[in-house]
C-alpha cells in the first residue's frame, strides 16, 4: 500500500486555502463572530493565518474563514498576497478548485477570506492512514489535473501542488478533490516580471526552485511527483531544500517499487518529471490521459470493481461540522497568531545547543509536577498557556492532566525564559516513559540565540528518522521527525521567533496526525 510522503506528514502544516475537518470537537475559546459569520471552532493555524470553522446563518451552511495573522497585518506584501489569493480563486469556476464565497475585513483591519469547508480532510490525511488503489489514485490525479487546467486557462500557476493542498469535500453523495492554498500562486504575466521562489522542495519543479519564469509545466512536474507518490508508495524525491530541487537526481525506477508502476506507466510519470520543461507532456490533461492509458494497458483499469461508490469512502464523522450556533464559543477578541511555520532553512548556531537541550528536556519533563488542568467535562481539545502568557498550545484534552507553566533555565545560557510542558502524566517525558512509550506530551521553551543548531537531539529508541526539514520560511526553523518510537513518533523542532530568540519544541505522540495537530496549535504571543 502506498504510504504518505514525509513532507506531507510533517508537523506544523499551515492551513490550506479551505480548512479541513478533524474529528468533531467541542468549540474552542476564540471570537464569537468573524464579520457576519458565527464561529464554531478553530480548525488550524499557521505562520500567516488562522482558519476557523464558521456558520453562515443567512445560507444555513458551514464555511471556512481564513484570517490573516495579527503579526502580519502591517506587512503590505503579505497582506496583498493574502487578498490576491481570494481574487485569483474567484476567477476560477471549477469544482476542483476551492471556491471563495466572500471576503472582508475585521475591525482591527485584518482581511479574511470565506471559503468552502472541506469536510473530508486532505490527501495527506488519507495517506497518513492508508494508501489508495490505482483507480482511486488515478481519480485523484484526474480531478487535480482538472483544477490545474482551470487555473492554467486563466493564466494562473498554482506552484505548490502537494498532498496537503489537495482537499476532499462531499458533494451530492460523492467525494470531490479540490486544489487549495494559492498563497504561492501567481498570474503568468506577473511571473514573467517577478518570480517568487517558493514551494515544497519534494514537489517543486527545477525551474521554479531556480527562480526562473514558470508556467503550467511547473505544476505538471508537481503533479508528476504526486503521481509517483500515489502509485509507487514513496516520494520521487526527498529534497530537504530548494537547492536540491533545482538540480534533482532522477528517482529510482518506479516499477521496481510497485507492481502498479510497470515500465510503461513509469515512462509516463518520468516524462512529467523531466528536469527540462520542454520535455514534459504538452499539459496536465495530456499527462493524465497518457497515465490512464498506460495503467489500463498494464491491467489497472480506471474503474476499480472493488471500490464501492463513492469512489473514495466517505468518513461519516467528518461530515459533521459541529454544534449549531446556539452553542458557539463565548465572545472574545481574536487571539494573536504566532504559530511557528513549517521547518525552514536559516543561519546555523553551535551544535552544542541541541545536545544541551536534549539533556534539559528530560529534567523539565521529569519535573512536570505542577498543577492539574482537568475540567469536570473536558473538551476534545484544550488550550493551555504558560504563566507569562507568552506561549500557548492546543492539545488533546487527555494530555492536559499535568501542566508545568513556569519559566525554565535555558541550556543555551542558563537564562530564565518562558516555558510550557503539557503531558498525560507528570513523568510523560521521563526515561522510563520514553523507553516504553507510556506517555504523550509537548514541551515548549524560549531560549536565547539567533541561529539554528547544527545538530538536533537524537532518539536512539526510535527505529528511524522519518524526515528532516530546513526549508525557507517566514521564520527559519529546523525539524526532525522520528518514527517507529515506542508508543508512536517524536518530533524535535527549533524555530527562530525573533532576531535573538529561539523556540524549542518537542512532541511525543501516538500518531503523526496527533503530532501535526499539536504543532499546528502552538503560538507565541507578544514576540
Structural domain spans, the chain: 123-297, 348-524
Which stretches of the chain drop beneath a pLDDT of 50?
1-28, 184-197, 305-308, 317-378
* Contacts of residue 301, Cβ cutoff 8 Å, sequence gap at least 6: 135, 295
**pLDDT value for 412:** 66
Domains 123-297 and 348-524 agree in fold: no
42: part of which helix (H) or strand (E)? Answer: strand 37-45
- SS3 (DSSP) at 49: strand
Could you give the C-alpha distances from 129 to 5, 117, 411, 441, 512, in angstroms and in order? 12, 21, 37, 21, 10
Instruction: Write out the three cell numbers for 163.
Output: 498532498
> Cα(14)–Cα(344) distance, rounded to whole angstroms?
13
pLDDT for residue 446: 92
Per the annotation, where are the binding residues for ATP?
Answer: 66
**The predicted structure's pLDDT at residue 286:** 97
What pLDDT score does 141 carry?
Answer: 97
CATH topology of domain 348-524: Protein Transport Mog1p; Chain A (3.40.1000)
pLDDT at 71: 76
User: Computed from CA positions of residues 190, 193, 198, 202, in that sequence, does the dihedral angle turn out positive or negative?
Assistant: positive
Q: Which CATH class is domain 123-297?
A: mainly alpha
pLDDT at 221: 97
Predicted pLDDT of residue 429: 79
Specify binding-site residues.
Answer: 66
Active site residues: 160
CA pair distance 34, 436, nearest whole angstrom: 45
Query: N- to C-terminal Cα distance for the chain?
Result: 44
* pLDDT value for 333: 31
Residue 199: what pLDDT? Answer: 61
With CA atoms as reference, report the closest residue to 195 among 224, 157, 168: 157
Separation between Cα atoms, residue 284 and residue 287, nearest integer Å: 5
Amino acid at each position: 500500500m502506498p504510504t504518505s510522503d514525509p513532507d506531507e506528514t510533517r508537523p506544523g502544516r499551515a492551513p490550506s486555502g479551505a480548512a479541513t475537518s478533524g474529528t468533531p470537537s467541542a468549540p474552542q475559546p476564540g471570537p464569537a463572530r468573524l464579520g457576519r459569520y458565527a464561529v464554531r471552532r478553530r480548525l488550524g493555524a499557521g505562520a500567516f493565518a488562522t482558519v476557523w470553522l464558521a456558520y453562515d446563518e443567512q445560507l444555513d451552511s458551514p464555511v471556512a474563514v481564513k484570517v490573516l495573522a495579527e503579526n502580519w497585518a502591517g506587512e503590505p506584501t503579505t497582506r496583498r498576497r493574502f487578498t490576491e489569493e481570494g481574487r485569483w480563486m474567484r476567477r476560477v469556476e471549477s469544482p476542483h478548485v476551492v471556491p471563495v464565497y466572500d471576503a472582508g475585513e475585521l475591525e482591527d483591519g485584518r482581511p479574511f477570506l470565506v471559503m468552502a469547508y472541506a469536510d473530508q480532510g486532505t490527501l495527506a490525511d488519507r495517506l497518513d492512514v492508508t494508501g489508495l488503489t490505482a483507480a482511486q489514485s488515478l481519480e485523484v490525479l484526474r480531478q487535480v489535473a482538472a483544477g490545474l487546467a482551470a487555473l492554467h486557462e486563466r493564466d494562473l500557476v498554482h506552484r505548490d501542488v502537494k498532498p496537503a493542498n489537495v482537499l476532499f469535500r462531499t458533494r451530492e453523495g460523492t467525494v470531490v478533490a479540490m486544489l487549495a492554498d494559492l498563497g504561492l500562486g501567481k498570474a503568468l504575466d506577473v511571473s514573467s516580471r517577478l518570480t517568487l521562489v517558493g514551494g515544497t522542495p519534494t514537489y517543486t519543479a527545477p525551474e521554479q526552485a531556480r527562480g526562473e519564469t514558470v508556467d503550467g509545466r511547473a505544476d505538471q512536474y508537481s503533479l508528476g511527483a504526486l503521481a509517483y507518490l500515489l502509485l509507487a508508495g514513496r516520494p520521487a524525491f526527498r529534497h530537504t531544500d530548494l537547492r536540491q530541487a533545482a538540480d534533482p537526481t532522477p528517482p529510482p525506477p518506479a516499477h521496481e517499487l510497485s507492481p502498479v508502476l510497470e515500465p510503461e506507466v513509469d515512462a509516463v510519470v518520468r516524462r512529467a518529471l523531466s528536469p527540462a520543461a520542454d520535455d514534459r507532456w504538452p499539459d496536465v490533461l495530456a499527462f493524465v490521459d497518457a497515465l490512464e492509458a498506460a495503467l489500463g494497458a498494464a491491467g489497472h483499469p480506471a474503474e476499480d470493481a472493488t471500490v464501492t461508490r463513492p469512489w473514495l469512502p466517505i468518513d461519516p464523522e467528518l461530515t459533521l461540522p459541529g454544534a449549531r450556533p446556539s452553542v458557539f464559543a463565548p465572545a472574545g477578541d481574536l487571539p494573536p497568531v504566532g504559530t511557528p511555520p513549517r521547518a525552514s532553512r536559516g543561519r546555523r548556531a553551535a551544535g552544542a545547543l541541541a545536545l544541551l537541550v536534549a539533556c534539559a528536556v528530560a529534567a523539565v519533563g521529569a519535573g512536570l509536577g505542577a498543577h492539574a488542568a482537568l475540567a469536570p467535562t473536558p473538551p476534545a481539545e484544550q488550550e493551555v498557556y504558560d504563566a507569562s502568557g507568552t506561549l500557548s498550545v492546543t492539545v488533546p484534552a487527555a494530555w492536559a492532566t499535568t501542566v508545568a507553566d513556569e519559566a525554565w533555565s535555558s541550556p543555551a545560557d542558563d537564562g530564565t525564559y518562558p516555558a510550557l510542558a503539557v503531558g498525560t502524566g507528570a513523568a510523560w517525558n521521563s526515561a522510563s516513559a520514553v523507553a516504553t512509550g507510556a506517555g504523550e506530551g509537548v514541551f515548549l521553551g524560549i531560549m536565547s540565540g539567533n541561529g539554528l543548531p547544527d545538530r538536533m537531539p537524537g532518539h536512539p529508541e526510535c527505529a528511524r528518522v522519518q524526515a528532516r526539514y530546513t526549508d525557507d520560511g517566514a521564520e527559519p526553523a529546523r525539524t526532525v521527525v522520528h518514527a517507529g518510537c515506542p508508543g508512536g513518533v517524536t518530533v524535535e523542532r527549533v524555530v527562530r521567533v525573533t532576531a535573538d530568540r529561539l523556540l524549542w519544541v518537542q512532541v511525543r505522540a501516538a500518531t503523526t496526525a496527533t503530532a501535526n495537530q499539536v504543532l499546528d496549535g502552538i503560538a507565541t504571543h507578544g514576540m
